[in-house]
Amino acid sequence: MIFGAGVFKGMMVTLKNFLTSYYRDRDNGGIFTVQYPEEREKLAENYRNLPFLVYDGAPDQIRCVACGICERECPPKCIHIEMATDAAGKPARKPAVFDIDYSLCMNCGICEEVCPFDSIYMDHTFEITSQAGPRSLIRGKEALARSNDYFRKIRPAMAAAVDQKRKTAEDKKKAAATPPPPQEIK
Ligand code: SF4
Ligand code: SF4
């Protein structure tokens, strides 16, 4: 090996980075500084931060049926759910309480993975700091609710796949509920 070749190679990398820093072309190896918060980087679709609950129609129609799977599987146990009951005291298959403590959430996305009802997904929001203490980071179901349109906007490919899956399941359910046409008597 030629003496000093490693140093020369390192200097060439430095020179290349110095020159490319003049071009704001990230895709071609340029180096640049984002002037946050005035400028923001476009987040990747699968960027994940904190969970939210999806609703169809009105904000009080979240898809969650309070099955409790995400609560059970959440590693730091930061989800708390209480099932609502109807007038007769029977489980109403929706949460009366659905809280997530954002100060404990470790952004793992397990709740999204295990939910069998397409109800909880990871958001792109990350500016949640508060000077009001950690309890101010507990979010209730109203604060967690986001429309399916919002989901489609931030994660279009994932939302389209979920929409398609739900439509197929709905069509199958309708077909199964439709009585077969009467048999022709010959
Ligand atoms: S992202 Fe992980 S830590 Fe946060 S609520 Fe979901 S399962 Fe819990
Ligand atoms: S978000 Fe999903 S997994 Fe969690 S309680 Fe609701 S339906 Fe069950």
Structural domains of the chain in order of their starting residue, each with its CATH number = 51-164 (3.30.70.3270)
Got the DSSP string for 84-119? EE-TTS-EEEEEEEEEEETTT-----HHHHH-TTS-
At residue 186, the pLDDT reads 60
Q: Which ligand 2 atom minimizes the distance to the CA of 81? A: 5
At residue 179, the pLDDT reads 79
What phi, psi does 134 have (nearest 5°)? -60, -30
> 66 CB under 6 A from ligand 2?
yes
Residues of the chain with pLDDT under 50: none
Q: Which ligand 1 atom minimizes the distance to the CA of 112? A: 6
Q: Which ligand 2 atom minimizes the distance to the CA of 68? A: 5
Q: Could you report the per-residue pLDDT of 69-120, keeping only the tens digit for each? A: 999 999 999 999 999 999 999 999 999 999 999 999 999 999 999 999 999 9
> 110 CB under 6 A from ligand 2?
no
At residue 183, the pLDDT reads 75
Å from CA of 174 to ligand 1 middle: 34
Residue bearing the CA closest to ligand 1, atom 2: 108
Inter-residue contact 71 to 100 (CB < 8 Å): no
Tokens 């309480």, residue?
97
